[in-house]
Amino acid sequence: MAMNDNQLERYARHLILNGVGVKGQKRLLAASVLIIGAGGLGSPVAMYLAAAGVGRIGIVDGDTVDVSNLQRQIVHTTDRIGQSKAESAAVTIRALNPDVKVDVYNQTVDADTIAALIEPYDLVIDATDNFATKFLINDACVLAGKPFIHAGVVGFTGQVMDVIAGEGPCYRCIFEEMPPAGEVPTCKEAGVLGAVVGVIGSLEATEALKLIIGVGEPLIGRMLTVDALTMNVRRVPLPERVPDCAVCGDHPTITSLDPQRYIQPACVI
C-alpha cells in the first residue's frame, strides 16, 4: 500500500520518527479500533487515533450530548447539544482526518451485542464510566481473544492498563468482581477534573498506537496511575495472570456472557 502525497505530508512527523516510519504508519492506516464510550475518555482517544491515521474507528455510545458534558468531552461542541454522541464524535473525526473510515453505533453495549461489535476490530478501547460495562468489556474481549485498553478516572486521579489474553492479567484478575453499588463514589458524586480525563484518554491513545505499531513497552502486567494533585505518576506491577480467574484462569467459570452478571447502576463521566 503506497501512501499518496497528502498522506506523506500529513504524517510527516511520524515518517521521520524512529520506531514509526513508513512501516509503522502503514500499520496505523490498516488498523481498526473500536472505542466504547464517546465521553471524557473517548474524546481524546478518538481525536488522537484519527489524527494518527488509524484507518477504521468505531464509536459506540447510546447517549446524547448534554451541556454538562462539555467541561471534559472535547470531541463534542455546544451546537451539538441534544445530538447523538456517536454521531457527534464521527463529525469531529471526519473533519480532522478524511483518511479515517468511521463506524457509528448509536447504542449501548450489553451482553447480547458486544461480541458482534468487537468482532471486526483489531483492538478495543474501554472509555466507559461504570464497573458493569468494564467487566463486560473485559470478559467479552478475553473470550474473543481481543486486546483491549482499560482506563478509569474519578476526581483528580486515573489509571490505565493493557489487557492481552495470555500475556498478562485481565481486569477481572485484578478486581475480581464489581463492588457493591454505592461502595465506590462515582464521578457524578465525586466530580472529575476535565483535563485529567484528557490526560488519561491520551495515555490510552498512546498505548493503542504502541500496540498497533509494535513499539515500546506496553502496559501489560502493569498499571499506570496518575494523581494530578501531586503529579505523582506510578507504574504499578500487577500480579501474574491468576490461575483461578473466573474468565482467563485455568478452569474458567465464565464461558459466555450472561446479561444478569453485568447489572449495576451507571454513573456519567
* % of the chain residues with pLDDT over 90: 87
CATH numbers and ranges of domains, the chain: 31-262 (3.40.50.720)
Q: Which of 269, 267, 213 lies closest to 11, judged by CA? A: 213
User: Quick one: pLDDT band at residue 165, thresholds 50, 70, 90?
Assistant: confident
pLDDT of the residue at 267? 43
Give the predicted TM-score (pTM) of the model: 0.95
Q: Is 210 known to sit in a ligand binding site?
A: no
pLDDT at 183 over 70: no
Average pLDDT over the chain reads 94
Q: Which of 234, 226, 170 lies closest to 198, judged by CA? A: 226
pLDDT of the residue at 268? 40
Instruction: Please say whether the beta carbons of 92 and 47 come within 8 A.
Output: yes
Tens digits of per-residue pLDDT, 72-92?
Answer: 999 999 999 999 999 999 999
Q: Is 85 known to sit in a ligand binding site?
A: yes
Q: Is 267 known to sit in a ligand binding site?
A: no
Higher pLDDT, 110 or 186: 110
State the average pLDDT over residues 141-160.
97
Q: Is 245 known to sit in a ligand binding site?
A: yes
State the average pLDDT over residues 232-250.
94
Tens digits of per-residue pLDDT, 205-215?
Answer: 999 999 999 99
DSSP letter for 179, please. Answer: P
State the average pLDDT over residues 134-161.
97
CA separation for the pair 148, 118 (Å, rounded): 10
- Give catalytic residues, as residue numbers: 187
Instruction: Please say whether the beta carbons of 93 and 50 come within 8 A.
Output: yes
Q: In what order do the strands lie in the sheet with 32-36?
A: 101-105, 56-60, 32-36, 123-126, 148-154, 157-163, 222-227, 232-237
User: Quick one: pLDDT band at residue 96, thresholds 50, 70, 90?
Assistant: very high
